[in-house]
């Protein structure tokens, strides 16, 4: 009950109050039509104040059958047992015993074994008491009533088991959603930060070799570092703004702004990488998610080229067709092994991140050494990805 929304708690509490009142109504209006009695002999003691109290004691605990199922079961069982021992005429209030057993099986969370032991002991005490008062029940009467009581407890136990299984399933889904969100955030941070920071580090490493004879190139390099740093800060700010948004945006809505491939190519050139860009076929507008996946593949491939083979030529080729996009980023003669002088270049997330993005749209991505020694990243992205 504590984990339920407040409105649902109120609805269930109201239903339990209504159930208790209905049981009281039926108990005083239907006589022994739906009576729950132990044995088959007629009870002949006339109703009095005590019988009314015992009837109410069986019905009214229904109000707390969910919040305090153990207490409700104890009160109802004692009241029902006394009603049997004294010998009052059967009453529909005895139906509360079945409901209390079900409720305890379904909602009792602590000391369930103790509750079962108490029920067994109480039932044996009731059988002994009724036998001594000469109600005429036979041992078979006591035995045949036990399966009925057990049945209602087991029904509640089954409901409890299903409820716990559903709660475990939802908890597992929640953990999976959190893990996916963490992976998404890590991928976005990797894509945003690595690309810009790599360009800045490469520029910063190259500047000392330009001093003091090339002040103009040093000035240009510092300007590139400044521009790249501002771009990184802008992308990070956009990503952090999305993370702080209390809503639940889609993957495309929570990603940093898209950049044309030409901008990525120019940024790599400004960082010192020799990059050529070629586009074939008739370009057409792309869905937001597909455009972002294409951008990230090119961005990560250029970043890897800048980290691992900064002195090599990189060719970016984009081919448009009616059904798919083909993109290839090939670095001539490059090595996939990071230079020992650049421990910051070690990552391992990039290719896996690209492969995940492409696979999400039903595409394929390959990355590896070519026969001529170059390193190529090739991706096929269908324009109409399967659901």
The 3-state secondary structure of 216-266 reads HHHHHHHHHHHHHHHHHHHHHHHHHHHHCCCCCCCCCCCCCCCCCHHHHHH
Show the DSSP H helices in 244-332 as ranges.
261-270, 288-308
Cα separations in angstroms, 12 against 15, 19, 64, 218, 344: 5, 10, 10, 74, 59
**What average pLDDT does the chain have?**
79
Which contiguous run of DSSP H or E holds residue 278?
Answer: strand 274-280
pLDDT confidence band for 239 (50 / 70 / 90): low
Q: How far apart are the first and last CA of the chain?
A: 39
349 vs 321 pLDDT, higher one: 321
Contact predicate 211/218, CB 8 Å: yes
What per-residue confidence (pLDDT) applies to 240?
67
pLDDT higher than 50, residue 344:
no
According to DSSP, the residues that pair with 377 across neighbouring strands are 329, 367
Contact predicate 293/360, CB 8 Å: yes
pLDDT higher than 60, residue 342:
no
> How many whole angstroms from its chain centre is CA 239?
22
pLDDT confidence band for 85 (50 / 70 / 90): confident
Mean pLDDT of 158-184: 85
pLDDT confidence band for 125 (50 / 70 / 90): confident
pLDDT confidence band for 238 (50 / 70 / 90): low
pLDDT confidence band for 242 (50 / 70 / 90): low
- Helices 215-243 + 261-270 axis angle, to 10: 140
pLDDT higher than 80, residue 54:
yes
241 vs 119 pLDDT, higher one: 119
Mean pLDDT of 18-39: 83
What per-residue confidence (pLDDT) applies to 256?
47
C-alpha to C-alpha distance for 185 and 240, rounded to whole angstroms: 10
**DSSP assigned state of 126:** H
150 vs 188 pLDDT, higher one: 150
Condensed to tens digits (0 to 9), the pLDDT of residues 88-117 reads 887 888 899 999 999 999 888 888 888 888
C-alpha to C-alpha distance for 83 and 65, rounded to whole angstroms: 20
Which contiguous run of DSSP H or E holds residue 14?
Answer: helix 6-29
DSSP one-letter string for 153-193: HHHHHHHHHHHHHHHHHHHHHHHHHHHHHHHHHHHHHHHHH
Burial 310-343 (b: 16+ CB within 10 A, else e): bebbbbbebeeeeebbbbbbbbbebeeeeeeeee
pLDDT higher than 70, residue 43:
no
């Amino acid at each position: 009950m504590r984990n339920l929304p407040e409105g649902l708690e109120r609805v269930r509490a109201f239903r339990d109050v209504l159930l208790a009142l209905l049981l009281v109504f039926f108990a005083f209006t239907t006589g022994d039509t739906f009576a729950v009695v132990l044995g088959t002999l007629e009870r002949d003691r006339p109703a009095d104040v005590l019988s009314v109290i015992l009837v109410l004691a069986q019905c009214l605990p229904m109000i707390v059958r969910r919040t305090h199922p153990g207490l409700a079961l104890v009160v109802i069982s004692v009241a029902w047992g006394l009603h049997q021992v004294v010998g009052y005429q059967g009453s529909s209030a005895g139906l509360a015993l079945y409901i209390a057993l079900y409720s305890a099986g379904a909602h009792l969370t602590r000391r369930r074994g103790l509750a079962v032991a108490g029920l067994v002991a109480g039932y044996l005490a009731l059988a002994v008491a009724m036998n001594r008062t000469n109600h005429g029940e036979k041992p078979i009467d006591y035995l045949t009533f036990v399966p009925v009581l057990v049945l209602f407890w087991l029904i509640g136990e089954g409901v409890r088991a299903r409820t716990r299984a559903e709660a475990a399933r939802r908890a597992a889904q929640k953990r999976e959603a959190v893990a996916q969100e963490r992976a998404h955030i890590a991928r976005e941070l990797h894509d945003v930060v690595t690309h810009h920071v790599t360009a800045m580090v490469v520029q910063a490493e190259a500047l000392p070799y330009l001093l003091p004879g090339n002040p103009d190139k040093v000035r240009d390099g510092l300007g590139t570092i400044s521009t790249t740093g501002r771009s990184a800060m802008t992308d990070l700010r956009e990503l952090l703004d999305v993370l702080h948004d209390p809503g639940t945006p889609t993957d495309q809505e929570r990603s940093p702004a898209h950049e044309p491939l030409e901008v990525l190519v120019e940024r790599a050139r400004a960082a010192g990488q020799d990059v050529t860009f070629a586009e074939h076929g008739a370009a057409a507008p792309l869905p937001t998610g597909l455009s972002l996946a294409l951008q990230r593949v090119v961005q990560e491939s250029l970043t890897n080229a800048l980290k691992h083979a900064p002195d090599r030529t990189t060719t970016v080729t984009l081919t448009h067709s009616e059904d798919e996009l083909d993109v290839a980023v090939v670095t001539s003669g490059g090595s996939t092994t990071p230079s020992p002088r650049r421990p910051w270049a070690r990552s391992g997330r990039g290719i896996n991140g690209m492969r995940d993005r492409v696979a999400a749209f039903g595409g394929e991505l390959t990355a590896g050494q070519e026969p001529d020694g170059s390193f190529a990243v090739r991706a096929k992205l269908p324009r109409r990805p399967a659901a």
